[in-house]
Amino acid sequence: MLKKFNILTENRYQLVDITEKVEGIVKESETKEGLVLVFVPHSTAGIVLTENERGLKNDWLEIFKRLTSGVDFEHNKIDNNADSHILSGLIGQGRVLPIKDGRIVRGTWQQIFLAEFDGPRERRVMVEVIRNS
C-alpha cells in the first residue's frame, strides 16, 4: 500500500514532525506485522528520526549550517543549493521502520521528521506499508 501526502515548508532548513501522519497511514492499512518505508522523492530533503524537542531541533539546524559552511561548492554556479543536495545525501532520503502488533516500533524519543534543506517548498512524502501479516 502506497500513500502520499504533501508538506509545505517555511524555512531554508527546517524539521517537520510527520510521525502522526505516518502512524495514521499504518493504522489505516490494518497491517499487524510488516515494514513501513518513509521516503521523499527529492534530492534536497531527507527523513530523519530524532526527538521532537525545540532545543534539539535548533541544534540540528546549527549542525546542518556548520557541516556545509566555508565550502566553495562548484554546484552553486548552477543553482546555489549544493549544501541542500549534500545534506540530503548525508541524512538520507528515506527510513524503514518495523511494524509490530499494528504499530510502528520506535523509541519514545524517536519521532519521524521531514528534513527540509532547500525551503520553502512543497514536499511530497511517500509512505509504503509492506505487510507480512
Q: With CB under 5 A as the contact rule, which of the stretches 25-33, 79-87, 100-108, 109-117 interacts with Zn ion?
A: 79-87
Does residue number 81 form part of the binding site for Zn ion (CB under 5 A)?
yes
Which is nearer to Zn ion, 29 or 44 (by Cβ)? 44
Which is nearer to Zn ion, 68 or 81 (by Cβ)? 81
Choice from 10, 30, 33, 79 touching Zn ion (CB under 5 A): 79
- Using alpha carbons, select from 39, 45, 8, 46 the residue that is nearest to residue 22: 39
CB of 28 to Zn ion, least distance (A): 35
Q: Which residues in the 6-65 window bind Zn ion by CB under 5 A?
A: none
* Residues touching Zn ion, count (CB under 5 A): 2
Is 1:127 a contact under the CB 8 Å cutoff? no
Is 45:123 a contact under the CB 8 Å cutoff? yes
CB of 95 to Zn ion, least distance (A): 23
Q: How far apart are CA 7 and CA 107, in angstroms?
A: 24
CB of 74 to Zn ion, least distance (A): 11
CB of 119 to Zn ion, least distance (A): 14
Binding site for Zn ion (CB under 5 A): 79, 81
